[in-house]
Chain A
Amino acid sequence: LAKTTQPISMDSYEGQEVNITCSHNNIATNDYITWYQQFPSQGPRFIIQGYKTKVTNEVASLFIPADRKSSTLSLPRVSLSDTAVYYCLVGALGKIIFGKGTRLHILP
């Protein structure tokens, strides 16, 4: 099972771009990379998913290099409400592993 490594915590300021990098050295060929956001006492919420190169949606971008051994979630112009835990997931059917996530704290 592919395991992921993320920074335990990060601080940033409102209006800044935040990049969270996840390492997944033993990612399998059929594994996708997915990011979720979780607020305290709530279930995780899907942010973005990708397989390779770059994916962008209305809230974030996901950058995946050619070797797919890492990925970077980019949050443009963060606000205080982006303070949450962000999880990088790698896996296929039924074998998804949530790591400990990155606790992002946005400062005014």
Chain B
Amino acid sequence: DADVTQTPRNRITKTGKRIMLECSQTKGHDRMYWYRQDPGLGLRLIYYSFDVKDINKGEISDGYSVSRQAQAKFSLSLESAIPNQTALYFCATSENGLPSGEQFFGPGTRLTVL
């Protein structure tokens, strides 16, 4: 969905490096989410934010941190990347909090940690 963009789209890094993945949206939604997807598996929620001043841990937040710089921007950081954080990362937005809201996903960032 072009309304939700993620940068970079692909990234290869080394163990121990700090990495930031960025998400921007033009949908005007308050709620934003970060997920990771491992091959052959479903998505797992890392962090979510219901507005600029709100940050919540998801199912697998260890090793990650986030920053909600503005309504439109939500960044995910890996403070010290490790190989098992190699995955496809998705950002999503919704107008209303689940369960009443549909989530709109970005194209994903493929991260490889060597």
Partner of A42, one of B35, B40, B59, B107: B107
Stretch of B12-20, B75-83, B96-104 with 4 or more beta carbons under 8 angstroms from chain A:
B96-104
Which residue of A is nearest B97, CB measured? A93
Label chain A's interface by main secondary structure. loop
CB distance B99 to A91 under 8 Å?
A: yes
Q: How far is the CA of A92 from the CA of B41 in the complex (A)?
A: 21
Q: How far is the CA of A30 from the CA of B98 in the complex (A)?
A: 10
Interface residues of B in 92-114 (CB under 8 A from A): 92, 97-100, 102-108, 110
Chain A contacts for B74, CB-based, 8 A: none
B1 beta carbon closer than 8 Å to chain A: yes
Which residue of B is nearest A50, CB measured? B99
CB distance from A48 to the nearest CB of B (A): 10
Q: Mark A88-99, 1 if CB is under 8 A from B, else 0.
A: 000111111111
CB distance from B61 to the nearest CB of A (A): 11
Number of A-B residue pairs, CB cutoff 8 Å, is 65
Q: Mark A35-69, 1 if CB is under 8 A from B, else 0.
A: 01000011111100101000000000000000000
Interface size class of B (residues with CB under 8 A): 20 to 34
Chain B contacts for A93, CB-based, 8 A: 97-99
Chain B contacts for A31, CB-based, 8 A: 99
CB distance A94 to B97 under 8 Å?
A: yes
Which residue of A is nearest B103, CB measured? A46
CB distance A94 to B107 under 8 Å?
A: no
B43 beta carbon closer than 8 Å to chain A: yes
Lowest 4 CB-CB distances: which A-B pairs, in order?
A43-B105, A32-B99, A98-B42, A98-B43
Chain A residues within 8 Å of B, Cβ to Cβ:
30-32, 34, 36, 41-46, 49, 51, 87, 91-101
In the assembled complex, 28 residue pairs joining A and B whose CB atoms fall closer than 8 Å, in A order, are A36-B103, A41-B108, A42-B107, A43-B1, A43-B92, A43-B105, A44-B43, A44-B103, A45-B105, A46-B102, A46-B104, A49-B99, A49-B102, A91-B98, A91-B99, A92-B98, A92-B99, A93-B98, A93-B99, A94-B48, A96-B98, A97-B45, A98-B35, A98-B43, A99-B42, A100-B40, A100-B41, A100-B42
